[in-house]
Amino acid sequence: MMKQVLRFILFFLATSPLAHAMPPFVGDDYSGEYTCKGKNDSVGEYEVLVTLKLNPVTSHDIYGIYDFNTESNKQAMYVGQIMAKGRKFSMTFKLLGTNSPTYSTGMGEFKKDNNQRWAFSNTYYEPDGNGGNFGNDYCTLEKPIQKTSKKLIPMSSNNS
């Protein structure tokens, strides 16, 4: 009986989420709204608004995981994820509002611009059934996403 209890305890400890806890995220937070200028052979030159939001649950160590969405001046919407390792990143996203899903992938790098704002450049590939389409963006942080802190609201007491 003691062996069974010991086996159970060892199994529990080995499979416990605490045994596999990832170290906290220590990288730069690139969250915010970015204005992007880009070009590809299919659309030509364009401007888009990109929003990045750090996912604190999945981000760890030097790996930042971001939810990514974009709106273009032609109302096209893309959603996806960015995985950053330090300042380099990979991305995957899809075009919304089409009959068949269009998935794209890309890679890029974050840097500080001359005004010390975060900026990133990326190159992406969009399959189109005819060999695909490559594009490039240069994006500048316009509005950082403010971190919200939970504030405790004191409970009033009715001692009157």
pLDDT value at position 76? 73
Least confident of 10-14, 44-48, 63-67, 123-127: 10-14
Strand-pair partners of 124? 106, 135
pLDDT at 154 over 50: no
- Looking at 1-144, which runs of residues are DSSP E strands? 32-40, 44-54, 63-72, 77-85, 88-95, 102-112, 118-126, 133-144
Architecture label for domain 33-144: Beta Barrel (2.40)
> Average pLDDT in the 31-57 region?
93
Select the more confidently predicted residue: 152 or 9: 9
pLDDT value at position 60? 94
Binning pLDDT at 50, 70 and 90, where does residue 156 land? very low
Read off the pLDDT of residues 51-79 as tens digits, 9 standing for 90 and up: 999 999 999 999 999 999 998 766 778 89
pLDDT at 24 over 70: yes
Task: For residue 136, give every residue at least 6 positions away whose Cβ sits within 8 Å of its Cβ, in sequence order, or none.
Answer: 38, 39, 40, 121, 122, 123, 124
Average pLDDT over the chain reads 82
Select the more confidently predicted residue: 106 or 128: 106
pLDDT at 98 over 80: no
Q: Give exposure, 83-100, as e/b (b: 16+ Cβ within 10 Å).
A: ebeebebebebebeeeee
Select the more confidently predicted residue: 125 or 42: 125
Model's pTM, two decimal places? 0.75
Domains of the chain, by residue range, sit at: 33-144
